[in-house]
A and B are shown apart, each in its own frame.
Chain A
Amino acid sequence: MRPAFSVIFLTTLIGAGQGLFLVVFGVALYESVPRSLLLTTGVVTMLLLAAGLFASFFHLGHPERAWRAVTRWRTSWLSREVIALPLFGVAVLLWTVHGWWQGTPSPTLGWVAALLAMVLYVCTGMIYAAIKILREWSHPMTVFNFIIIGLASGAVLAAALAGFVAEELKGVFEKLALWLLGVALASRGYTMWRNASLPPWSTARAINVHHNRIRQIGQGAMGGSFNTREFFHGQPEERVKQVRWVALGAGFVAPLLLLAFESPALAFLIHYAGLVAERWYFFAEAKHPQNLYYQSVG
């Protein structure tokens, strides 16, 4: 699939925002979290959501009609995500405003927002996992990865924010982030390996001709088409492999090290860069069966 930067930024930004909220809210159940951090969390989460939403509009041909996307929640995960995202945003807003006004945030609102955050993870992940013909995506690990990577990025961000407004909790978040990054690294690393090991789609099946030597000569158009742009990353294989290493290295390994050396802010910056690479790779590694019809120009 073609990695769409608008969607890459959308999912990484809101994923980090959801993770930030969940991690801070979760820690707040066990530890005493200063108001400063809670409010910062709320504001940053909302900023990340807004940024993600803004980025997502660039993916649409007709953003002015985007409101219509809430109408098919019965069948479409994208529709559900389009409902869940603003609901989560509103919940966080209410939680933040209540917390600012009342001094401490309402646990009820917090739980609602946390639930919505998880729902939003599931919706986002299911948008991809629901496409059965994309074998790299249609796997339970896809949703799990969105959650675990989101939580991990939220934890790293929380550690960074704690570094500024709640020094005493920085260590807590750093430890949490280390654990989450480790699990995410294993999880995402596993799916990368698993996806790369999938057997290729068969041209014989695509055209229903039973022979072990089939080659496409032409696809009916020589200058390309929507089908040659939307479903393929367009890069040489070496580049794609490089991005994978950047994703794993900058997304997980380097932050692990940086957190160990107690630099969560730097860790988050590098981690986010790696996240963008990881999301790019997420698209690039998905091989759509329609590509069987667009293998060659002749």
Chain B
Amino acid sequence: MNEVDSDYLASAITDGVKKTTCYMCACRCGIVVHVKNGKVRYIEGNPDHPLNAGVICAKGGSGIMKEYSPARLTQPLRRKEGAERGMAQFEPISWEEAFSLLTERLARIRATDPKQFALFTGRDQMQALTGLFAREFGTPNYAAHGGFCSVNMAAGMIYTIGGSFWEFGGPDLERAKLFVMIGTAEDHHSNPLKRHIAAFKRRGGRFIAINPVRTGYAAIADEWIPIRPGSDGALFLALMRELIAKNLYDREFLSEFTNAAYLVDVTPGSAEEGLLVRHPEGDPINPLRPHNFSWWDAEKEQWVPDHTPGVRPLLEGERTLPDGRRVKPAFQLLWESLADCTPEWASEQTGIPAARIVKLAHEMGVVARDFQIELPIAWTDWWGRKHERVIGRPVAFHAMRGLAAHSNGFQTIRALALLMTLLGTIDRPGGFRHRAPYPRAVPPNARPPKGPEAIQPGAPLKGAPLGWVEFPEDLAVDEAGNPLRIDKGFSWEHPLSAHGLMHNVITNAWRGDPYPIDTLLLFMANMAWNSTMNTTEVRKMLTDKRADGEYKIPFLVVCDAFYSETVAFADLVLPDTTYLERFDCLSMLDRPISEFDGPVDACRVPVVAPPPGVKPFQEVLLELGWRLRLNAFTNPDGSRKYRNYPDFIVRFETAPNSGIGFLAGWRGENGTLAMRGAPNPEQWKRYEEHGCFFHYELPPGLRYMRNWNRDYLKWAQEVGLRRDFDPIVIHVYSEILQRFRLAAEGRWPGRQPPAELRERVRRFFAPLPFWYPPLEDEHTDRERYPLRALTQRPMAMYHSWDSQNAWLRQIHTYNFLYVHPQTAQAAGVEDGGWMWVESRWGKVRCLCRYSDAVEPGTVWTWNAIGKAAGAWNLAPDANESQQGFLLNHLIREELPFGERTISNSDPITGQAGWYDVRVRIYPADPTEPPQSWPQFAPMPAEIPGMAKRPGGVIAYPTVMSVEEAAAMQESMKSPWAFLFQKQGASR
């Protein structure tokens, strides 16, 4: 028992109760764990926790079977000498060997060419540490799964309102009267949303669900509006047009709190055409992001700085400035851009009747206008005006991956954000409310590396591996405009790729484009299965070799707690802890679990001891970081800076003595400070005493209108949530996008895109949202492939992570493709019959289930239920592999682009466009085997350190091991066995 491990063992209990944070999904509810005889017996929700208030979902309640799953990896493993990669032929090694191996290799990479090391994480919730490690190492090649998952949702809204949905913000269902939920799967934001929707309904709220599918939350909606996938942007634009035409929008809100009244230079051919006009007398406020924009005084008919007191700004029309420049308010441009977005046009794209679209707009507008909320909360806005009350407009929205996972997602989501803005619902009661650390600047301050000089051997990266691009100069490209990152993030191909592009890493590395890499380290990312597109081919790429016999991706390290499909491809396997065995931190610096009324962060503490051979990945990074002598992890005298991960969490500060660390509660030497303060060595204890979370409730005056709330903004800067003290004016008009358009047109003085990408950048970087069909449509015969295929995450499984859970897998043992009955019958496919679903890129054989709860042009299935044979220590003939299927095989990670290929993504953010895929369906031939296709050679069950799975029967907690199960099986064989059974044997 060494010092590093002692904190873990000290925290674990053998009998009693401990509070921690769940991690069966990214919701991260507070839980109370009951332990008896060293085994977890019961996990319930923590009634005091702000997120879940004592409730717990199906997954949280099954944590026991995750903890005791036979798919656990318990030893570091190395691919056997002479064994082929992908065959899961491993030999156990010690941690010391694993560390030496890795250190030697990574040190060599760092000393020569740091970008040869790529670190990609999947369902990781500690991106602040993994990102820090990558930055310190000096590689730009780092991202979590956001680019694959829903970066469009984050970016589309952050680039508009300075916040987004899920943990960044959400619908205020406590005060809303109308709630519109769009493109949301069953399990996004999970328990809080279930709680709030139920309470909302009971209070008499009206709930509309807009989705191609009606399951989950949509089942209890008062109305389901089916919509064609990828067409939501058209709906939002038409809604906006109708709202504006009928004056059902909040003009005052637009004028005061957005850039709708800012003047835009529309002088044809001018160097600044399409950019916002600066006023020489305006106050820049923040020299790093000057705010001196312009209004046109509608009464005095003159050009004034924005937010001049007493001025009513012009919103429509065109004017000429004294110097001859022609200008229009941004709102005028918005209105013009909506001219053709009629309800009839939107109806053609979405399949929603035009009259319904019109009625929906009226519903939203009238509810927002006529049910105005007034809270007696005084607040002062940035420009010094005192408001006696906070106004709210009770129309709330929630949206997620149904909008994001399309190549038109960014503009679609911008349109949604503008819709919400037009209704006047941003950070207002009953509408959308931010969650700390949001709202943040548009865009937030972190910037990716700007050029090749940012990557130097033996030095940290200059810039953050992931960041927010504001100017073409912020792109991570070289002088020729070539990408610096392996996934081509922050390049001209998809400039605003704030979360990276996990889905292109393996393909690019295999192809050596933009360059080959040496080592790929995957943490909790099942990138050889469901966290990838074009799975069959990607698996081949992982085992493909160069001419000299070396693998094209020479070294693959996989860190995971369980025997996933990706583990089979590893050269080095590092076993991770489960959430019940480790310290973790859900930090304000990363992805906390804040509430509307104030920041909330949380942590995890070990409840039970990890198996002896297992190390939490965070400890691995700290150790590696020290062995590599990275500054953040090493003392000046060369000794290891942090004893272990909890020590790191407590003592780390963003800058020396900044007082800003990972956990916001109980800071300061006495533990009396919140948000900012000196590190407190007792901080973990305080968190543990308080259920592992810290909730700071903002005073009422700081809870609303935070984009412009002076007191809030001051406080946010003081506690380090924001660097700057300036208002976050809503970008109705996105000058940022216009800059890129100008660059593409050759009218930008700085960086410009390579010739082959000019037209693409010019087309998509529109400063006002517009709708275009998904890019896949340009490359696929729409007649031959008339349907769209989607996936959805079920409430009782979290990605690929729960088939090793004996209880949850009984709920989702395999998956069907749900098809509208008419669509199925037209194709000759029977209910319950085997069928093929085929795209231009690939095909899959699966089972069909008729469903009337899906619009006829869509087919869908549950995400990641299908597994590779033998993975997750399931029997090779388990239903997950024999009947279950993975849709990813027929979605390609790239689309044709001229002579080459380009990522199959949103051209603005690089978001994987995996809901764009077009398919056709047809029945399987009766002579074909009744089995899903493709199939893969079963993964072996003999993995050093992995338990033999108990067969026959188990009964937690008394029967869990192979031996006990075998004995139980024997006793079940014959009713006469009782004669030979010891009394009370089963207890």
A and B in direct contact, judged by CB atoms within 8 A = yes
Q: Are A220 and B811 in contact (CB under 8 A)?
A: yes
Q: Are A221 and B811 in contact (CB under 8 A)?
A: yes
**Distance between Cα atoms of A58 and B973 in the complex (Å):** 11
Q: Are A223 and B810 in contact (CB under 8 A)?
A: yes
User: Which of A61-69, A103-111, A182-190 lies on the face that meets chain B?
Assistant: A61-69
Does A60 have its Cβ within 8 Å of any Cβ on chain B?
Answer: yes
Q: Which of B811, B813, B814, B849 contacts A217 (CB 8 A)?
A: B849
Q: How far, in Å, is B186 (CB) from chain A's closest CB?
A: 13
Q: Which of B810, B818, B850 contacts A221 (CB 8 A)?
A: B810
Does B666 have its Cβ within 8 Å of any Cβ on chain A?
Answer: no
Q: Are A64 and B851 in contact (CB under 8 A)?
A: no
Q: Are B811 and A222 in contact (CB under 8 A)?
A: yes
Contact with A along B835-857 (1 / 0, CB 8 A): 00000000000000111100000
Q: How far, in Å, is A237 (CB) from chain B's closest CB?
A: 15
* Nearest CB in chain B to that of A298: its residue: B849
Q: How far, in Å, is B698 (CB) from chain A's closest CB?
A: 42
Does A57 have its Cβ within 8 Å of any Cβ on chain B?
Answer: yes
* Nearest CB in chain B to that of A213: its residue: B852
Chain B residue numbers with a CB within 8 Å of A64 are 978-979
Chain A residue numbers with a CB within 8 Å of B714 are none
Q: Are A58 and B975 in contact (CB under 8 A)?
A: yes
Q: How far, in Å, is A294 (CB) from chain B's closest CB?
A: 14
Chain B residue numbers with a CB within 8 Å of A221 are 810-811, 813
Size bin of chain B's contact surface: 10 to 19
Chain A residue numbers with a CB within 8 Å of B362 are none
**Distance between Cα atoms of A222 and B849 in the complex (Å):** 13
Q: Are A61 and B975 in contact (CB under 8 A)?
A: yes
* Nearest CB in chain A to that of B818: its residue: A298
9 A–B pairs (Cβ distance < 8 Å), ordered by A: A57-B975, A60-B975, A62-B978, A64-B978, A221-B810, A222-B810, A222-B813, A223-B813, A298-B818
**Distance between Cα atoms of A298 and B883 in the complex (Å):** 12
**Distance between Cα atoms of A57 and B975 in the complex (Å):** 8
Contact with A along B851-878 (1 / 0, CB 8 A): 1100000000000000000000000000
**Distance between Cα atoms of A60 and B978 in the complex (Å):** 12
- Which A residues between 239 and 273 are near B, CB-CB below 8 angstroms? none
Query: Interface of B with A (CB < 8 Å)?
Result: 810-814, 816, 818, 849-852, 879, 975-976, 978-979
Q: How far, in Å, is A60 (CB) from chain B's closest CB?
A: 6
Contact with B along A204-223 (1 / 0, CB 8 A): 00000000000101001111
Q: Are B975 and A222 in contact (CB under 8 A)?
A: no
Chain A residue numbers with a CB within 8 Å of B812 are 222
Size bin of chain A's contact surface: 10 to 19
Given contacts A63-B975, A222-B814, A223-B879, 16 further A-B contacts (CB under 8 A): A57-B975, A58-B975, A60-B975, A62-B978, A63-B976, A64-B979, A215-B850, A217-B851, A221-B811, A221-B813, A222-B810, A222-B811, A222-B812, A222-B879, A223-B813, A298-B851
**Distance between Cα atoms of A220 and B813 in the complex (Å):** 10
* Nearest CB in chain B to that of A61: its residue: B975
Contact with B along A29-66 (1 / 0, CB 8 A): 00000000000000000000000000001101111100
**Distance between Cα atoms of A58 and B976 in the complex (Å):** 8
Query: Interface of A with B (CB < 8 Å)?
Result: 57-58, 60-64, 215, 217, 220-223, 298
Closest 3 CB pairs of A and B: A222-B813, A298-B849, A221-B810
Chain A residue numbers with a CB within 8 Å of B816 are 298
* Nearest CB in chain A to that of B821: its residue: A215
**Distance between Cα atoms of A103 and B814 in the complex (Å):** 71
Q: Which of B811, B814, B975 has the most CB of A within 10 A?
A: B975
* Nearest CB in chain B to that of A222: its residue: B813
Chain B residue numbers with a CB within 8 Å of A57 are 975
Chain B residue numbers with a CB within 8 Å of A62 are 978
* Nearest CB in chain B to that of A220: its residue: B811
Chain A residue numbers with a CB within 8 Å of B979 are 64
Q: How far, in Å, is A212 (CB) from chain B's closest CB?
A: 13
Q: How far, in Å, is A278 (CB) from chain B's closest CB?
A: 25
Chain A residue numbers with a CB within 8 Å of B818 are 298
Chain B residue numbers with a CB within 8 Å of A220 are 811
* Nearest CB in chain B to that of A221: its residue: B810
Chain B residue numbers with a CB within 8 Å of A222 are 810-814, 879
**Distance between Cα atoms of A61 and B976 in the complex (Å):** 10
**Distance between Cα atoms of A239 and B851 in the complex (Å):** 29
Q: Which of A57, A220, A221, A223 has the most CB of B within 10 A?
A: A223
Chain A residue numbers with a CB within 8 Å of B976 are 63
Q: How far, in Å, is A207 (CB) from chain B's closest CB?
A: 13
**Distance between Cα atoms of A60 and B818 in the complex (Å):** 41
Chain B residue numbers with a CB within 8 Å of A61 are 975
Q: How far, in Å, is A252 (CB) from chain B's closest CB?
A: 33
**Distance between Cα atoms of A60 and B974 in the complex (Å):** 10
Q: How far, in Å, is A62 (CB) from chain B's closest CB?
A: 7
**Distance between Cα atoms of A57 and B811 in the complex (Å):** 33
Chain A residue numbers with a CB within 8 Å of B850 are 215
Q: How far, in Å, is B832 (CB) from chain A's closest CB?
A: 8
Q: How far, in Å, is B95 (CB) from chain A's closest CB?
A: 39
* Nearest CB in chain B to that of A64: its residue: B978
Chain B residue numbers with a CB within 8 Å of A217 are 849, 851
**Distance between Cα atoms of A57 and B810 in the complex (Å):** 31
Chain A residue numbers with a CB within 8 Å of B810 are 221-223
Chain B residue numbers with a CB within 8 Å of A63 are 975-976, 978
Q: How far, in Å, is A164 (CB) from chain B's closest CB?
A: 34
Q: How far, in Å, is B450 (CB) from chain A's closest CB?
A: 52
Q: How far, in Å, is A32 (CB) from chain B's closest CB?
A: 45
Q: How far, in Å, is B948 (CB) from chain A's closest CB?
A: 21
**Distance between Cα atoms of A222 and B975 in the complex (Å):** 28
Q: How far, in Å, is A66 (CB) from chain B's closest CB?
A: 10
* Nearest CB in chain A to that of B215: its residue: A217
Chain A residue numbers with a CB within 8 Å of B813 are 221-223
**Distance between Cα atoms of A215 and B818 in the complex (Å):** 14
Chain A residue numbers with a CB within 8 Å of B849 are 217, 298
Chain A residue numbers with a CB within 8 Å of B814 are 222
**Distance between Cα atoms of A84 and B154 in the complex (Å):** 75
Chain B residue numbers with a CB within 8 Å of A60 are 975
Q: How far, in Å, is A51 (CB) from chain B's closest CB?
A: 16
* Nearest CB in chain A to that of B981: its residue: A64
Q: How far, in Å, is A208 (CB) from chain B's closest CB?
A: 16
**Distance between Cα atoms of A222 and B809 in the complex (Å):** 9
Q: How far, in Å, is B809 (CB) from chain A's closest CB?
A: 8
Q: How far, in Å, is A153 (CB) from chain B's closest CB?
A: 27
Chain B residue numbers with a CB within 8 Å of A58 are 975
* Nearest CB in chain B to that of A59: its residue: B975
Q: How far, in Å, is B874 (CB) from chain A's closest CB?
A: 12
**Distance between Cα atoms of A221 and B808 in the complex (Å):** 9
Q: How far, in Å, is B875 (CB) from chain A's closest CB?
A: 12
**Distance between Cα atoms of A298 and B812 in the complex (Å):** 9
**Distance between Cα atoms of A298 and B811 in the complex (Å):** 10
Q: How far, in Å, is A223 (CB) from chain B's closest CB?
A: 5
Chain B residue numbers with a CB within 8 Å of A215 are 850, 852
**Distance between Cα atoms of A62 and B976 in the complex (Å):** 9
Q: How far, in Å, is A215 (CB) from chain B's closest CB?
A: 8
Q: How far, in Å, is B586 (CB) from chain A's closest CB?
A: 32
**Distance between Cα atoms of A183 and B852 in the complex (Å):** 51
Q: How far, in Å, is A287 (CB) from chain B's closest CB?
A: 20
Chain A residue numbers with a CB within 8 Å of B851 are 217, 298
**Distance between Cα atoms of A217 and B821 in the complex (Å):** 13
Chain A residue numbers with a CB within 8 Å of B879 are 222-223
**Distance between Cα atoms of A242 and B850 in the complex (Å):** 31
**Distance between Cα atoms of A222 and B807 in the complex (Å):** 11
Q: How far, in Å, is A296 (CB) from chain B's closest CB?
A: 8
* Nearest CB in chain B to that of A62: its residue: B978
Chain B residue numbers with a CB within 8 Å of A223 are 810, 813, 879
Q: How far, in Å, is A69 (CB) from chain B's closest CB?
A: 15
Q: How far, in Å, is B880 (CB) from chain A's closest CB?
A: 10
**Distance between Cα atoms of A236 and B495 in the complex (Å):** 59
* Nearest CB in chain B to that of A60: its residue: B975
**Distance between Cα atoms of A178 and B811 in the complex (Å):** 55
**Distance between Cα atoms of A208 and B978 in the complex (Å):** 44
Q: How far, in Å, is B675 (CB) from chain A's closest CB?
A: 45
